[in-house]
Amino acid sequence: MNFLKSSAIVAIGTLSSRILGFVRDLLIARFLGAGINSDILFIGLRIPNTFRQIFGEGAFNLAFVPLFKKYCDDKNINEKSLIFLEQTFSMFMLAIVAILIICEIFMPQILDILAPSLHTRGEDVYNLAVNVSRILMPYILFVSYMTFMGAVLNSLGKFAAMAFAPAMVNVGYIAAFIAYSLSNFEGNITYIPAIGMVFGGFLQFLVMYISIKRMPFIIKFVKPVLSPEVKLLFRKFVPTILGSGIVILNSLVSVFLASGLQKGSVSFLFYSDRMVQLPTALFGTAIATVLLPTLTQKLKENNDLSSAFMKVFGITLLISAFCTTFMYLNADLIINTLFERGAFDRDATLKTGASLALMALSIPAIMNLKIVSVIFYAQGNTKLPTFIAAASFSLNLVLCLILMQYFDYLGLVMAGVISIYFTIVVQLIIVLKERVLMASKVFKALVFYAITQSALILSIKIVGDLWNIGLDSAIIFKLLYLIAVGLIGAAITFMFVVLFKLYKKV
């Protein structure tokens, strides 16, 4: 399966998940709004979502794939690789069960760390947050199983199952809200999406279980043994969590600090983050997922990494230019059109829109950080990304503490944007200094990005001025405007891809 076809499969799977995710977010906004109930849900989601992001979208895959491919005969499982799989799977799931038990027992203490201001909201609010968080925790079992088996299939060049399985969690959410609408449930509505997420996790497990059962090998649970191979994996995995999870860590810091700011701050950040995750996961994660085994195989065959990397870097930059421009210039309208109904009012729209506009500026850095980081992990280098991430995390924390004093929750967004650009710039400097990439080619790609970005800004602003759409316009006109602007922006991006002949490099 070629690179573009594999990337397309992952992207389509991710798109299906994100579309269902939008439906889920619309339902959450409709029933919970952007207030205390939604804040409780989003605080509770931070723990299982952190596991999902670390395992499902980054660190485990980056640490596991290069090691596993070393033990395989091309794309075939042999005895040594199967033993490695069984030992790793057993140790991995045992660790997840231990984490689950610890989190269930010490959830109040965990929330005291994650969102210390919950105590100031009253005992009922605090107890509800503890209960909702405990209900959500079993999800980590299902997502961990899905992630492990997905990493195995990805290593073997089979991307479809892992691409489409994540969509099931959103099916669980939607099913829970439908059941709520048809029932006479009298408890707090915050429990509904929590139960839905766990049910969706079970559906993810089923999809991956069926997929792995079709393979010509069986991964059994064995007595956990800390073999040298397993130790090596976990030695690489732990620093990889920090190295690849800088966006996740910064998000945790934002939740921690936002919980003490104005009511709804956690929700404003959540909704805007959900919008930004669409392009970064759809393109950045999809491309990085396929690029990692490609670069690892080239290293195994002693081939050059630069040409393979530059095949996707230029196009990723242009796609990020389009996504950033579209979201930045239409932030309020996007939030207004998608979420402003029911408990989600105009004030929530404006505050979330301001957050989205700022957060959109980070899209080029986030998407390309996923790509650049692959170079380090394909080489088995986990130390440098870890050191860089530690510096970026420290910078983000300091900036958050300073900027929140002047800009409230928007200060947290500003700090995140600055720190993620710090990370990508430092990583690029290192790979250029080590001559993994050619500076002239990277500079040329950045010039293409700047030209495309300028053309997009000019075109979308002209369309906006001519159309003169407003937040109070009929929803059909707002949707038509966003679709039209999106299509125009996509056409301009495609035009520059052709003009710069980037299609020949894929």
Distance between CA atoms of 423 and 385, rounded to whole angstroms? 9
Judged against a pLDDT cut of 50, whether residue 1 lies above it is answered with no
Distance between CA atoms of 493 and 484, rounded to whole angstroms? 14
What's residue 506's pLDDT? 45
**pLDDT (tens digit, 9 = 90+) per residue, 98-139?**
989 999 999 999 888 877 777 777 888 889 999 999 999 999
- The SS3 of residue 117 is helix
Centre a 10 Å sphere on the Cβ of residue 33 and count the other Cβ atoms it contains.
19
**pLDDT (tens digit, 9 = 90+) per residue, 424-452?**
999 889 888 877 677 888 888 899 999 99
Measured torsion, CA atoms of residues 435, 419, 246, 375, in degrees rounded to the nearest 10: -10
The tokens describing 249, both together, are: 């860590």
DSSP string for 324-351: HHHHHHTHHHHHHHHH-STT--HHHHHH
Running DSSP on this structure, what letter comes out for residue 245?
A: -
DSSP string for 423-453: HHHHHHHHHHHTTSS-HHHHHHHHHHHHHHH
Judged against a pLDDT cut of 70, whether residue 300 lies above it is answered with no
- Residues comprising the chain, all counted: 506
What's residue 296's pLDDT? 56
Assess contact for 267 and 38: CB atoms under 8 A. Answer: yes
Judged against a pLDDT cut of 80, whether residue 204 lies above it is answered with yes
Domain range for 203:
3-505
Burial 176-204 (b: 16+ CB within 10 A, else e): bbeebeeeeeeeebbbbbbbbbbbbbebb
* Mean of pLDDT values over 303-319: 73
* Mean of pLDDT values over 4-30: 75
Assess contact for 66 and 380: CB atoms under 8 A. Answer: yes
* pLDDT band per the 50, 70, 90 thresholds, residue 305: low
Q: What is the total count of domains within the chain?
A: 1
Among 418, 258, 473, 280, smallest CA distance to 352 is for 258
Distance between CA atoms of 88 and 91, rounded to whole angstroms? 5
